[in-house]
Structure 1
Amino acid sequence: MSSENQANSKSKVAIVTGGGRGLGRNTVVSLARRGVDVILTYNTNKAEAESAVAEIEAAGARAVALQLDTGNAGSFDAFVANVRQALETFGAKDFDYLVNNAGTSYHASIAETTEEAFDGLVNVHLKGVFFLTQKLLPLMADGGRIINISSGLARFSVPGSSAYAAMKGAVEVFTRYLAKEFGARGITANTVAPGAVMTDFSGGIVRDNPVVNKMVSDMTALGRPGVADDIGPMIASLLSEDNRWVNGQRIEVSGGAAL
């Protein structure tokens, strides 16, 4: 267990949505290596979530995987009840960190974007983040930390990403309001905006498509796309006491994309 957690009377507990795969999985394992216990969520891939739990436990922390569709706000009350039960298994009454990571991709021009697809993005990336955070805040310990995942696409424009990027821009505004409204409780809120990362997100297009991979490499100062190990440890670090005075900020982790 890390020296940070040894200094506290109880282990920290994090909730990470979409923690079974990709950046979410790297984040939960990075937190576990710092002695943080994890409640992770998955939508449909239970096997991957259980694999992540095993990896967290191998790192010396405790973990529970809970099913959650972040696009279905009507399920959030039941989810919160499940979180309470999971916390009891940890011997805790509250949790410390919330990482709103779960998301879906969508690629279409403005002219071709459908209302149905737009509404789906709203439900997952904006409405879901807003109301899940609202429902969980009463269970968050004073002095807690919130990280909402945005995207480099909220700063620079790549045709075909307008609807997705608009949701992330809205989340960045929401994050600043969280920081302001819950500062009295000592809760910080920040946005982490990854650049293009070689995971299975968006069908693995950055990882598996040589043309896209080269395009990303050419527009990035460090000359390559990101990997999950570039992001998860950074999020874990941002949640730690080392960054307690960082609040209301958008931090892009893109290797210097589109500078």
Structure 2
Amino acid sequence: MKISVVIPCFNAEGTLHDAVRSALEAYEVLVVDDASPGGCAELVASWGWPNVRVIPHRENLGLGAARNSGSAAATGDWIAFLDADDAFEDGWHRALTTFLHQSPEATWVYHPVREWTGTQLRAVRYGDHPTQHSDWLLLRPAVAPSACALRADVAKTQPFDTNRRLQGTEDLELWMRLWAEGHRPLRWTDEAFTRYRISHGMSAELESHTTKIRLRWAQFVERGWIAEGVLVRAEFELQRQKARSLHKAGRFAEAQRAYLAAGPSAKNWILAAAAAVRLKI
């Protein structure tokens, strides 16, 4: 069972070494240089790892296009994705190949991730396992690209969306599309085999992301993937997730407002009260 790992790179030269090194057990590692001004191609060449090759972009095309270029060039049976600021844990490759040999029906697999600041490991994200299309909006599936692998034929025929206006939501669009095509994600282990770097963006970035999510929802309704009535509950969940991000970042007043916008529930009220007294939970 040959696994190809695709790592898009743009301005990530400071973290790329750890990401690539963590993937070296794979059959091949494809680093897609998305016209990074830091010159990640030269950096990768200097390491001299024989199963690592660079796919260059002449211009910056965005995250979705970079992943797609890697998938198109991959020659393995399966394609795993890893962002350049994340890293696999030791043993991931052997465990995954063992599972895939035993699960010929699988087309799409994922595992939990452990939050990571770059210096400190934090909580494991298990999330909810989706059982219907709307669960991707209403629950909290922890299906991160850096913890996902697709059978190669699926990855090559179901590429990431490349709309730069909605960059940052291309993974959600792909998961929804795969579900619509009849694919179902299998959580193949409860071990967190990916260190998933967390950061807390500025308010403008968070607002921009929530706007993009809502635009994706409109697409999903238009395509008939979800009913429009689902969006009321989806908005509550979006506000809850926004509140948690703000709360963890210590932006308490904004977090309190987002909790109160997340719908009437005892949990939201308790968390809003905690934010009001500047208490992290």
Please classify the TM superposition score into its range, dividing by the shorter chain length: 0.3 to 0.5
User: TM-score by structure 2 length?
Assistant: 0.31
User: TM-score by structure 1 length?
Assistant: 0.33
